[in-house]
Amino acid sequence: MHLRDSTREMLYSSENEYDVRRDKGYPPRINVEVANPFCFKKKFWLSSTDVEQVLEKIGIYLQYETPKNHSLSLEQQLLITLHWLGNGCQYHDLADMHVVAQSTVCRSVNAVPDGIDHLFQEIVRFPDDCSNHDVDFLRLGRFPFVCGCVDGTLINIDAHRENESHFVDCYKNHSINTLIICGRI
């Protein structure tokens, strides 16, 4: 028996070797239905209701134009991206955890932030008329003449070779400071 013949036997299941091709077997994906809300939030950094709200907003940007073979659901794409954003692990590790291909993780991690970026202008913005907002900030926090607020967080990154000292934070870690600006509406 030649190698070519044994390959045909593996690929084709009927007596006539060209009649029927075997279906590709897909491994089962992880169950994202976490019973404990605390465990869900710890793993994905958002509650399940927050995930549903985000999916309602960005779902149209994540849908495939054509039905693909065994494609990820919108929820799986979002959860893979949230998992990656939450811990910054390698793509191949995340692919093993979610039982998907590494290229699938890469596509999800690129598609979800693009979907969020489409909504950036309507969600994160200063109000057009700031005259009423300064009164609200004065009443709430005793901040006079404030129209909006800024909040930030440090995101740990790998050390850069060029300008390494620019990325050292107050805790002596390499990080970037991410800021969110919001206004009271």
pTM, rounded to two decimals: 0.56
Render 37-56 in DSSP notation, one character per residue. HHHHHHHHSS-HHHHHHHHH
Number of domains in the chain: 2
Residue 182 and residue 124 in contact, taking contact as beta carbons nearer than 8 Å: yes
pLDDT digits (tens, 9 = 90+) for 60-113: 888 776 666 667 888 888 888 888 888 878 888 888 888 888 988 998 888 888
Q: Is it the case that residue 181 has pLDDT exceeding 60?
A: no
Task: Let me know whether 90 and 154 are in one domain.
Answer: no
Task: Let me know whether 113 and 39 are in one domain.
Answer: yes
pLDDT digits (tens, 9 = 90+) for 117-140: 887 767 766 667 777 777 777 787
Structure letter (DSSP) for residue 36:
-
Task: Let me know whether 116 and 135 are in one domain.
Answer: no
Task: Let me know whether 40 and 114 are in one domain.
Answer: yes
Task: Let me know whether 105 and 155 are in one domain.
Answer: no
Average pLDDT over residues 9-29: 58
| CB count in 10 Å sphere of residue 131 | 8
Task: Let me know whether 117 and 130 are in one domain.
Answer: no
> Would residue 164 count as lying in a domain?
yes
CA distance 12 to 21: 5
| CB count in 10 Å sphere of residue 40 | 19
Which of 100, 121, 142 lies at the terminal end of a domain, its last residue? 121
> Would residue 80 count as lying in a domain?
yes
> Would residue 18 count as lying in a domain?
no
Give phi and psi for 12, each to the nearest 5: -115, 135
Domain that holds residue 55: 27-121
